[in-house]
Amino acid sequence: MKYVDFQFHSYYSDGFLSPKGIVGKLAKENFSVASLTDHNTIAGLEEFGKMAKKKNIKAIPGVEIYSRFRNQELHLLGYGMDLKNQPLLKFLKESQEKHLKWFYRTLNRLAKLGFKIDFEAPEKSKSKYLGFLELQNILLKYPENKRKILKESRSEKIELFKIINSFFIKGKTSYVKGIHLDISTAEVIKLIKKAGGITVLAHPGQQLSFKKSALVIKKLKKEGLVGLEAISGHHNWHQIAFYQKLAEELNLAVSAGSDCHGFIVSENGSLKIQTQWDYFKPPYSLYENLKKYLK
């Protein structure tokens, strides 16, 4: 049995593993088609493609881009783009620069709240689009930060990463408004299409209710959306069934993505599940469904 995965992340955005390390895991778990979709960067695709070829894995060029649909945040997956397309490269560079400003503003806010911060850490990171993983690593570099976090949460039982993530939600004193949603979903679809690629709506059940989904997705199809990531590591069985049925009704491709970022750690620090691929293995037939849209 061969498997596919069209959404996962390396350390070039907010994942744990290198593109080479990801290929090793994919080969071990019997994946035959895969797409590295780092957030707003394609920095790891060349390395990923070369390593995948050595392991007889078909690599589809991919990227995940944050977008704005009215007041709703939506994530779009682009596949099969020309990686030398200048408008695409220009957009990705600008979005990375804006995001880096947000990252430093967040570090400054944390410092003002009394946390010890290594402001040189972002420059040493391989990530081109620093995420919450980097914020966690910076905070946990100093033991006094960990003690402060646990003291403020008033609990030793809650997973530390969950506590840290809660710092950055709207309404918290450490929250800094993001500046990555200045491009509309329709503009992203157009950008990827002009670069020779196709777009798929990532994990719709994570960001849309059943009630809103049909209306929003119908509008996005008119803009050029090609598929839905119906089978997702973020979806329960009801959502998987719902989005597969909706894709069929709207004549959209059904895609599958684990959204794997790396290791899943239990509360006591032992590894329960090393990666989503230990249990998330969509069948090869889903590639047959998607590839007719790829050039």
Give the pLDDT band of residue 113 (cuts 50, 70, 90). confident
Q: Give yes or no for residue 155 having a pLDDT over 60.
A: no
Evaluate whether 184 touches 237 at the Cβ level (below 8 Å). no
Nearest C-alpha neighbor of 288 from the set 242, 255, 241, 240: 255
Q: Give yes or no for residue 101 having a pLDDT over 70.
A: yes
* Lowest mean pLDDT, pick from 77-81, 206-210, 272-276: 272-276
The CA-atom distances, in angstroms, between 181 and each of 99, 122, 185, 281 are 10, 21, 9, 31
Q: Read off the pLDDT of residues 119-151 as tens digits, 9 standing for 90 and up.
A: 999 999 999 998 887 888 888 889 898 887 777
Q: Give the separation between CA 136 and CA 44, rounded to whole angstroms.
A: 22
Higher-pLDDT residue of 162, 58: 58
**Greatest Cα pair distance in the chain:** 54
Q: Give the separation between CA 161 and CA 289, rounded to whole angstroms.
A: 37
Q: Give yes or no for residue 1 having a pLDDT over 90.
A: no
Could you tell me if residue 80 is left (phi over 0), alpha (psi between -120 and 50 degrees) or otherwise beta? left
| Domains of the chain and CATH, by start | 3-89+198-291 (3.20.20.140), 92-166 (no CATH)
* Lowest mean pLDDT, pick from 71-80, 128-137, 209-218, 230-239: 128-137
Mind spelling out the 3-state secondary structure of the chain?
Answer: CCEEECCECCCCCCCCCCHHHHHHHHHHCCEEEECCCCECCCCCHHHHHHHHHHCCCEECCEEEEEEEECCEEEEEEEECCCCCCHHHHHHHHHHHHHHHHHHHHHHHHHHHCCCCCCCCHHHHCCCCCCCHHHHHHHHHCCHHHHHHHHHHHCCCCCCHHHHHHHCCCCCCCCCCCCCCCCCEHHHHHHHHHHCCCEEEECCHHHHCCHHHHHHHHHHHHHHCCCEEEEEECCCCHHHHHHHHHHHHHCCCEEEEECCECCCEECCCCCEEECCHHHCCCCECHHHHHHHCCCC
Give the pLDDT band of residue 163 (cuts 50, 70, 90). low
Nearest C-alpha neighbor of 261 from the set 171, 165, 141: 165
The confidence score (pLDDT) of residue 153 equals: 58
Query: Over pLDDT 70: what percentage of the chain?
Result: 85
The confidence score (pLDDT) of residue 53 equals: 97
pTM score above 0.85: yes
Q: Give yes or no for residue 17 having a pLDDT over 50.
A: yes
What is the average per-residue pLDDT within 198-221?
95
Query: Over pLDDT 90: what percentage of the chain?
Result: 62
What is the average per-residue pLDDT within 186-197?
97
**How far does CA 199 lie from the centroid of its chain?**
14
Any idea how long the chain is?
A: 295
Q: Residue 75 forms beta bridges with which residues?
A: 66
* Lowest mean pLDDT, pick from 40-54, 84-98, 133-147, 239-253: 133-147
Q: Give yes or no for residue 52 having a pLDDT over 70.
A: yes
What is the average per-residue pLDDT within 162-191?
72
Q: Read off the pLDDT of residues 64-97 as tens digits, 9 standing for 90 and up.
A: 999 999 888 899 999 999 999 999 999 999 999 9
Give the pLDDT band of residue 158 (cuts 50, 70, 90). very low
What is the average per-residue pLDDT within 29-35?
96
Q: Which two tokens stand for residue 55?
A: 């392991």
